[in-house]
Structure 1
Amino acid sequence: MDEVKVVVAHSERATLRVGDVFLKVDADQGRIDVEVEAMALAPVPTPKVLWRTPPVLAIAAVPGAALGRLGEPSTASPAAWAAAGAAIRKLHDAPLPTRPGRAGRGLDELAADLDGECEWLVTNAVLPADLVTRNRQVAQAALRPWTPAFTHGDLQIAHVFVDGDEITGIIDWSEAGQGDALYDLATLTLGHEEHLGDVVAGYGTDVDLDVIRAWWSLRSLLGVRWLVEHGFDPTAPGCEVDVLRSQT
């Protein structure tokens, strides 16, 4: 029997790897529904669904290696980053799914959540008040009208796989749906600003870099408490807190 490897595990979901098969166990079957539907619709390489028996979804591993990981230098080539940008553009140009995604939250709801998280960070002395205030100001640029696109919603670099300069698969589609295209670009380049130019070149159209930077601040401010409460460390080198510091 192949070794069982825990890829990620917290109170909401767990992912295990057994050989070339990933087993995703999720307490919310709605997220699994979104993932299966999005992979069927997306015009980019996605994992093959092997079987589904709630609460477990089995998918095949995609070839290649992750584009990188947050907090670590990426060894992928500029051409691979550009290929990721081109794949994202193809996704964003595809027909819209019916569901709203993580990148499609209403502006009023998002602003309220952002204000609440900033207050929590300062009140509990998790981060310095001036750091939070400055990043809240930067984040404001993301709170603007946007044209809906087919978005992945959680496009961190560990979810994009490459072989050489070719995209071989994009995984973890549970947050997919209609949303702000620049949210995906910002998520991919979070903590890897040095590759933003490559991604934008591959994306092939002008983007508002100030909005991407705003999403870096907004996503990081919203993520710190969740990461802490689920056993992750946002203060690790190159991760969310460092991103917030770099914005000032």
Structure 2
Amino acid sequence: MNQLDLKGRHAVITGGAVGLGYAIAQRMLASGGTVTLWDMNEQSLATAKEQLGQGVTTVAVDVSRHTSVVDAVRDTLALNPAIDILVNSAGITGPNVKLWDYPPEQWMQVQQVNLNGLFFCCRELVPHMRTRNYGRIVNIASVAGKDGNPNASAYSASKAGVMALTKSLGKELADTGIRVNCVTPAAVKTPIFDQMSPEHIAFMLSKIPMGRFGTPEEVAAMVTWLCSEDCSFSTGAVFDLSGGRSTY
């Protein structure tokens, strides 16, 4: 493992109790940082805190609700004097169906969690970062937002929105000490696979030239570097993690 330096830095990781968020927390702790995990599931938060050990605090939050995010920022700052890093990892896939069969309420839920929730988190934490003129924000998008996966229109649309939001916010903060970037993984085997059909999982694998899924640790390595001081001249950028599927 290459050594990355997050000493003295504190990160908020949404969806941090499981999957990519958990792996990112592991890598950040190994890099000398501290983390606050945000997640809806209080039992998962308790388990993650016990497993990760020192340097971890937790706050239960529903990112799809603005008031919950506001409360979570307040509670996090009561536990830690500063928030240097925000990783928006919370997300859901929605059902794998054709667009004309997509249940409207589930379409709205995917947008509310994946895009609106990310907006709420950025909206409430950017002012705190601006007062200190330092911050790193990394949003977890997806190659689906670039390519548009069939039978996943809501997820694809939400992740395209994440990329556009990242570009806009990165430009808005370019004259500050805050950097905003996103990553676009292809399929990474995490518990989110439980939300997908076997046919959709097989489709995603067939599109990856490397012939394998990514690992949470590979995503965590790139995200952690993007959250370091070394990432100083990249902002509003989209970083690929697709095993060769997406090269633009």
What is the TM-score when the length of structure 2 is the normalising length? 0.28
Max Rg structure: 1
Q: Which has the higher contact order (CA 8 A, sep 6+)?
A: 1
